[in-house]
Amino acid sequence: MRWVLHVDLDQFLAAVEMLRRPELRGKPVIVGGRGDPTERAVVATASYPAREFGVRSGMPMRTAAKKCPDAIFLPTDPDTYNEASAHVMDVLRSFEVPVEVLGWDEAFLGVTSDDPESFARRVQERVRAETQLECTVGIGDNRLRAKIATEFGKPAGVFRLTASNWFEVMGERPTDALHGVGSKTRAKLAALGIHTVNQLASADRNALAARFGPVMGPWYWHLAHGRGETEVAATPYVARSRSRETTYQQNLTEWADVEQATAELARRVSEDVAAEGRPAVRIAVKVRFAPFFTRTRSAKLLTPTSDPAELEKAALDVLRGFERDRPIRLLGVRAEFERSDAR
């Protein structure tokens, strides 16, 4: 049988840090920003002991420090994480099956096997032996189910989720347990009396299309049935975008300062675009207003470009769409590339 395996490295950034400092094992470790919880930054990864205190990725570091005051805070080290990730992906490719890298800490494998659990455990053993990192493996009959299965296997376990047990496992879970359904969509579904995956799967597709549009409405229905793609493309990971962002220790209150900071971020992004060797087709600007309200706007470029002046101009044009009546604590600029796949 053909299977999709989703390999997800456990507490990846924290685990890499523990390889350098074994004395951190079993302790609450929080990685983010410059490692200073008094500064404005967000959590990149929290170790499992830290998660027991309610610390989660994306949480402000100051909030994490309040939840887990005895945590060990460390700065992010992208170069080291890139190296560790590349090592893991090379290990996965050694199985000579299609490997589709999704990012630093996860990948899909396309596997033909009568015993996918045994294959998954071999993957875990080899990754552990060659990198000293632990991973969880989700097994599915498509990509969606494999990715969700990983959540039930953590940490360092194996879980199978297929059409045969989909509703048994997922049916009574809230709608935002589905990848692609966020808190806002969950609230809109709840207003329709739809609270669980079972209820969404039983909903009228025409009613969903009327509420969410002819594309998204039926798509949510398909998600509730666990339907997804089965192909795993054995292609190198290709970034879909390049971005830069900065959290300011003091709020930006003057619009001229906001424009100057946005232009600087755009210039840094243009350097990344040039290094990528592909022109950008879209530019996005992220603004986090004080105290912690985030908005993102984007625009398609008239023509694909790598020109720094054009990217800077486009970012400033997008910035003008934001209100100017609140202090700003974070700015980000993202350049998006043409997508070469159909997903």
Q: Which residues are catalytic?
A: 106
Residue 337, C-beta contacts closer than 8 angstroms, at least 6 positions apart: 238, 239, 240, 241, 242, 276, 278, 279, 280, 281
Q: How far is CA 322 from CA 204, 317, 336, in A?
A: 37, 10, 20
Q: How far is CA 20 from the centre of its chain?
A: 25
Count CB atoms within 10 A of the CB of residue 194. 22
Q: How many CB atoms lie within 10 A of CB 310?
A: 19
Question: Could you tell me if 120 and 156 are in contact, meaning their C-beta atoms sit under 8 angstroms apart?
Answer: no
Whether the upstream peptide bond of residue 291 has omega within 30° of 0, thus cis, is: yes
